[in-house]
A and B are shown apart, each in its own frame.
Chain A
């Protein structure tokens, strides 16, 4: 029981009208780990993440962050603890890339203050790391989907929070930037004891980056645990109804999943 917990989710439920999106779900998140949440479309992943950033409030149950219920936090305070890379990231007005990344510092800047030298240096450093400093004065409205997502990712990094939530945060990036970006997230977990909670569709990415995987289906957790144990053929079959083979791959130094087509050609 002596384990540290950063997020404690206790028996939460959430409905959209009559459709139950989350059903009495409980889960504990430990600091310093990379969590992957996998499951079919509409299984409640995004709803769960929405509740964690308090964009929605659960109908029943509690979510505690560092021992205190998140609804007791001031929103700006909570934004210094938990950052989000959302699934939808359209930006409606022609802000420059730099302006968007600087918005990540918003929770750290008092209302009538300008960004401090520290804020500016954090933003510049992140833009360089994410390799978006080459187009930092461009308008976000004219970037490609993948570029825009890297900007949004940089904004979440600039928020500099103990917990980072990724809702399909790399879905529009090419493989080069997907690996680079997730590596940056994984490095922050390893080096700074940060916590990452990522909803992922690509099970091989989950295998390569996550410490823990959580299988969700119909608003419940079907199975969770260490990636080496939990990521197996049976769980994939249970959740996705897909036949697969899971094996350890020496080249990538991680588990790999390959699938079988429903009807063989």
Chain B
């Protein structure tokens, strides 16, 4: 008999627990870094800022509010939101493409973003200040999405194999383009490479609000179609016979997940493995029902990417690019899960 590893807890309780965990990690990581701040002081400073009661700040080093509110929290919240966004996108891509290897980058979104960013960096575009590179990355990602959707569609239908193949082809072309840009970039090449490996350094509240708006809107759309996505995993014929508008649901979710990914990539660079592993991990714990899987993945993805960013920011002696770190931690962990899941035969 098969061991049941799924959590028995009610969905509401489980969500509350995961939210609590995320808040704890946010508070703890805000206190970590070159200047150590205790969790109670972090809470006091944030509370004082929100309520405007300045009495709470008595006895607290006057530099702390600046460190917490202006330096650390924007970075911490951005990394958590990006973690959530990439995980949601991963769930959606795996569900729609019916492929466990799918991740937010399967359709070449990352290559498109990287190409856009490389162009902005190599041409040294600064007409939009610090937002030039993210904007170009976003445009690159969106253009890639449409190119891939156009390539893969035939008579109004989009099959998952066509989508994956088109994604690989477009990504391959773009990768060659990026290599060429690196080759001609001379001095800029290190900046391009650093951007490609991802970073949450020097994020602002604008980044926080922008990503939060996009990711939460996307989250609601995905949740709206969660039950349809469950049924789509039975295959197209079964899904249509059960009353699902398969093509409409597919395209809506595909565009939503891709836009979430595009926004995440454009603020943080390419962070691999989060969108691949978190959905697998959470499916292992809460089962494949997307009504539970999407919120759980979002919360755990946020928590884990924040932990990874805190490790590179505050624990390691020098900052390692976050994309490298997630791959180094996530890769072996994925191997472990993959092997274990094969033994338990949870998947077909």
Contacts and interface: CB of A to CB of B under 8 A. Distances in A.
Interface in A156-194: 159, 165
B233 A92 contact: yes
Contact of B240 (A75, A104, A142): A75
Contacts of B4: 137
A89 interface: yes
Contact of B283 (A77, A94, A159): A94
B348 interface: yes
A247 to B, nearest CB: 37
A230 interface: no
A106 interface: yes
Nearest to B246: A55
B242 A89 contact: no
A261 interface: no
A165 B233 CA distance: 20
Given A92-B98, A92-B348, A111-B227, A86 B238 contact: yes
A93 B243 contact: no
B243 A75 contact: yes
B242 A55 contact: no
A54 B347 contact: no
Given A75-B245, A94-B288, A111-B227, A103 B346 contact: no
B58 interface: no
Residue among A77, A94, A100, A103 with max Cβ neighbours from chain B (10 Å): A94
A55 B236 contact: yes
Interface string B273-291: 0000000000100011100
A103 B239 CA distance: 10
Interface string B220-254: 00001001001101111110111111000000000
A216 interface: no
Interface in A21-44: none
A139 B233 CA distance: 14
A86 B237 contact: yes
B237 A88 contact: yes
B238 A106 contact: no
A50 interface: yes
B283 A79 contact: no
A245 interface: no
B231 A94 contact: no
Contacts of B130: none
A138 B2 contact: yes
Nearest to B341: A94
Contacts of A94: 283, 287-288, 346-348
Interface string A89-118: 111111110011001101100010000000
Contacts, number: 93
Question: On chain B, which size bracket covers the interface?
Answer: 20 to 34
Given A106-B227, A141-B347, A141-B348, A159 B236 contact: no
B240 A93 contact: no
A79 B236 contact: no
B243 to A, nearest CB: 3
A78 B243 contact: yes
A138 B2 CA distance: 8
A79 B236 CA distance: 14
B235 A139 contact: no
A79 B242 contact: yes
A107 B233 CA distance: 16
Nearest to B288: A93
Contact of A106 (B95, B231, B236, B237): B231
A66 B289 CA distance: 35
B243 A55 contact: no
B46 to A, nearest CB: 34
Contacts of A129: none
Contacts of B289: 95, 99
B219 to A, nearest CB: 16
Q: Which of A80, A91, A137 has the most CB of B within 10 A?
A: A91
A90 B347 CA distance: 12
Interface in A47-78: 50, 53-55, 75-78
A201 to B, nearest CB: 18
Contact of A90 (B224, B240, B244, B348): B348
Contacts of B100: 92
30 contacts: A53-B237, A55-B236, A55-B240, A75-B240, A75-B244, A75-B245, A76-B243, A77-B243, A78-B243, A79-B242, A84-B237, A84-B238, A89-B234, A89-B235, A89-B238, A91-B233, A93-B283, A94-B288, A94-B347, A95-B233, A95-B287, A95-B288, A99-B289, A103-B230, A106-B227, A141-B345, A141-B348, A142-B2, A142-B345, A142-B348
Interface of B: 2, 4, 95, 98, 100, 224, 227, 230-231, 233-238, 240-245, 283, 287-289, 345-348
- Rank and list the top 8 A-B pairs by shortest CB-CB distance, nearest first: A79-B243, A93-B288, A84-B241, A76-B243, A141-B348, A107-B243, A55-B240, A53-B241
